[in-house]
Structure 1
Amino acid sequence: MSDLTMWIIFLAVGLGTFAMRLSFVELYGRLRIPPLLSRALQYVPASVLAALVLPAVVYPGGHGDLALNNPQIPAAIIATLIAWWTRNTLLTLAVGMGALWIFKMIGL
């Protein structure tokens, strides 16, 4: 593939991505979104975060097999419970990291 073809592909993908994002920003204020869709869109950030974090917790190092002696799993469960009970982000991070460090120190 020539350099010119690569640059044309990069430019086309960049413009396409920009157009998709701009369309949501520009059209969001002008279009009336149904209440059901609006409620569903509130859960998008949490689901994206879960999709990014869960594979890193369950498969440390990107390996495809589930390790039962993985200290990240119980630490993530504890952090999830703290987040659910307190709704405090800083406390969740502190308790989750503290639990992970403790589990690593005791060799879990």
Structure 2
Amino acid sequence: MTGTAELWIVIVALGLGSFALRFAFLGLVGDRTLPDWLLRHLRYTAVAILPALVAPLVIWPTATGGTPDPARLTAAVATFAVGYLTKNVFAAMGVGALVLVTLGWLL
């Protein structure tokens, strides 16, 4: 276990780093017009975050000890297919959840 002083140094350093990162975008760039190429790239940020968060839970699920689970893989494929075909995030998440719960219950 680390000492109390070391713990507080880490907490304060992480807080300052988080503040600096947010201030760089909100405080320094917040009132300026961004170039079109940067705005075009920033549009894809939200699209990339959800798969990056979900992929490890599908490929290496902790609930199964890291082995791929057919229910999770099928739900991921169904979610991707519905999202691609309908372009509706809520429909895709709903179908994926329904497939995961149904296959979890059946298997």
Instruction: Report the TM range for the smaller structure's normalisation.
Output: 0.7 to 0.9
Alpha-carbon RMSD across the aligned residues, in angstroms, is 2.1
Cα deviation for residue 30 of structure 1 reads: 3.5
Provide the residue aligned with 2:106 in structure 1.
Answer: 106
Provide the residue aligned with 2:70 in structure 1.
Answer: 70
Structure 2: distance between partners of 1:4 and 1:46: 40
Provide the residue aligned with 1:59 in structure 2.
Answer: 60
1:39 aligned to 2:35?
Answer: no
Is there any run of 5+ residues in structure 1 with no aligned partner, and where?
none
Q: Please list the CA deviations of residues 33-90 of structure 1 after superposition, one character each: whole Å capped at 9, or x if unmatched.
A: 322122111111221211110110111117444x3x5211111111111112212233
Secondary structure at the aligned position of 2:19 is classed as helix
When the two structures are superposed, what TM-score results if normalisation uses the length of structure 2?
0.79
Larger displacement relative to structure 2 (5-14 or 38-47): 5-14
Secondary structure at the aligned position of 2:70 is classed as coil
Cα deviation for residue 21 of structure 1 reads: 0.7
Larger displacement relative to structure 2 (73-82 or 91-100): 91-100
Provide the residue aligned with 1:84 in structure 2.
Answer: 84
Structure 2: distance between partners of 1:103 and 1:12: 45
- CA distance 1:12–1:101, shift in 2 (3 Å): closer
- CA distance 1:102–1:28, shift in 2 (3 Å): same
When the two structures are superposed, what TM-score results if normalisation uses the length of structure 1?
0.79
